[in-house]
Amino acid sequence: MAKFDLKKIQKIVRQTKLDGWLLYDFRGSNDLALDIMNISKESHLTRRLYYFIPANGIPFKIVNGIESWHLDHLPGKKLVYTNHPTMYENIKTALKNKKVIAMEYSPKNAIPYVSRVDAGTIEQIKSFGVKIKSSGDLISLFTATWSEQQYKENIPVANALTQIVGNSFEFIRRKHISHKPLTEYDVQQFIMSEFAKRKYFTDFPPIVGVNQNSANPHYTPTRKNNKKINAGDLVLIDLWAKKNKPNGVWADITWTGFMGKSVPEKYNKVFNIVAGARDSAFNFIKNRMETGIEVRGYEADNVARKVISDAGYGKYFIHRTGHSICVDLHGSGAHLDNFETRDERLLLPSTSFSIEPGIYIKGKFGIRSEIDVFITKNKKVISTGRKWQKEIIPILR
């Protein structure tokens, strides 16, 4: 939960050329607004509340008389309503002379991560003569940006994940040459022990997928459901972690290895296509930022997807290219997506996201290569990890 900062929000509203930002909630329906307003999701919310933040001037707090205290911790003028006529009058007062405002809304629900306000409420607010735009970019600027401290704390975590991947492949190699049985679950638990050594936090155990399991992007082994790792197997490892603190930001990477001294050409061919898509997306974003041209999430997805499609594997790339990263692993900023959604939000300075294209041939194997990217406040595009995977790792070499 970001600390409420009226000065910062109003600066963002002016920056996006809007007249104001209307935050609305009913019975906890808008978690994004509650987070911005510093209202706990466990609060007893049974009535509609509105908080209008104009580009300049004093905000308006519109609350029901039964629960008039919910916005007392925020600056602004309180307008209490008891019935729907007085509620409408209060909204009219707050929106007087306003033409374009933002709400948690996405036209045609193109970005469901932002769509929190119901259609009826959108109609209600439009009836006051205002035009409503999506608050997606405002949310990114307020909740998805990293501080300098968060960035500095993330770098060693990102570097450590690369080291842990290497340790995991070495763990697999040692077990194999000592003729000890090994499963996906064993490797997963080894990674968890590496997190514990470093006192890192993860919300879910990492992915370790062998052969056909690597073709399932969200496969996770368990104690009861896992596959043995043998010579000749392809091994995909996807791991994510952060410092164990409330404002810690995540690192999230994926590497692949092969249980042999050399890697078969069928795997190398697919990896090179995936890595090419990854690099193309990164370079596209970097070039756009360097030349001062804005870039949106769906555009970066298009670039990566074209590389894979041109190579004849388009139907095997079954997810978006990347996701926002902040204090939430799948954050509130722009995703690199023109597949699952059309994410028209801007990639902004001081935000982070993954680039992780993949090719998944069901029943056979899948290869994904994932890096984390951060855009500095000066619009420099960098990778936060120690290094990128350049080839499939021959684990037994």
DSSP 327-345: SSSS-SS--B-SSSS---P
Q: Is residue 333 part of a domain?
A: yes
Mean pLDDT of all residues in 257-281: 98
* Final residue in a domain of this structure, among 114, 143, 172: 143
Q: What would you measure as the largest C-alpha separation in the chain, in angstroms?
A: 78
Residue 1 forms part of a structural domain? no
The mean per-residue pLDDT over the stretch 260-271 comes to 98
Domain count, the chain: 2
**pLDDT on residue 362:** 97
Residues 165 and 37 in one domain: no
**CATH code for the domain of 372:** 3.90.230.10
For the stretch 59-80, pLDDT in tens is 999 999 999 999 999 999 999 9
Both tokens of 207, joined, read 């992915």
Q: 88 lies in a domain?
A: yes
In this predicted structure, what is the pLDDT of residue 222? 97
Q: Which domain holds residue 203?
A: 145-394
pLDDT band at 215, cuts 50/70/90? very high
Residue 73 within a domain = yes
Q: What is the pLDDT of residue 261?
A: 97
Q: For residue 1, is pLDDT > 70?
A: no
Q: Are 162 and 194 in contact (CB under 8 A)?
A: no
Radius of gyration of the chain (CA): 24
Residue 180 sits in the same domain as residue 161: yes
What are the start-end ranges of the H helices in the chain? Answer: 6-15, 31-36, 84-94, 119-126, 136-139, 148-177, 184-198, 265-290, 297-310
pLDDT at 183 over 60: yes
Stretch 262-277: mean pLDDT: 98
Question: What does the pLDDT read at residue 2?
Answer: 60
State whether 194 and 258 are in the same domain: yes
Q: Distance between terminal CA atoms of the chain?
A: 47
Average pLDDT over residues 353-382: 98
pLDDT at 110: 87
Same domain for 233 and 100: no
pLDDT digits (tens, 9 = 90+) for 127-152: 999 999 999 999 999 889 999 999 99
Q: Is the pLDDT of residue 126 over 90?
A: yes
Per-residue pLDDT at 239 exceeds 90: yes
Write the DSSP symbol of residue 147: P
CB 101 within 8 A of CB 19: yes
In this prediction, residues 294-305 reach a mean pLDDT of: 98
One domain for residues 274 and 376: yes
Is pLDDT at 123 greater than 70 in this prediction?
Answer: yes
Same domain flag for 173 and 138: no
Residue 348 — very low, low, confident or very high, per pLDDT cuts 50/70/90?
very high
As a whole-number percent, the residues of the chain with pLDDT over 70 amount to 99
User: pLDDT per residue over 287-299, tens digit each?
Assistant: 999 999 999 999 9
Report yes or no on 322 lying in a domain.
yes
What CATH number does the domain containing 85 carry? 3.40.350.10
Same domain? 305 vs 168: yes
Asked whether residue 89 is domain-assigned, the answer is yes
Q: How far apart are CA 76 and CA 73, in angstroms?
A: 10
Residues 297 and 368 in one domain: yes
Per-residue tokens: 236: 């995909």
User: Domain check: are 110 and 202 in the same one?
Assistant: no
- Taking 90 as the threshold, does the pLDDT of residue 386 lie above it? no
Let me know whether 99 and 183 are in one domain: no
Residues 195 and 309 reside in one and the same domain: yes
Query: Are 177 and 247 within one domain?
Result: yes
Examine residue 278 and state whether it is found in any structural domain, yes or no. Answer: yes
Residue where one domain finishes, among candidates 96, 120, 143: 143
Which of 113, 143, 173 corresponds to the end of one domain?
A: 143
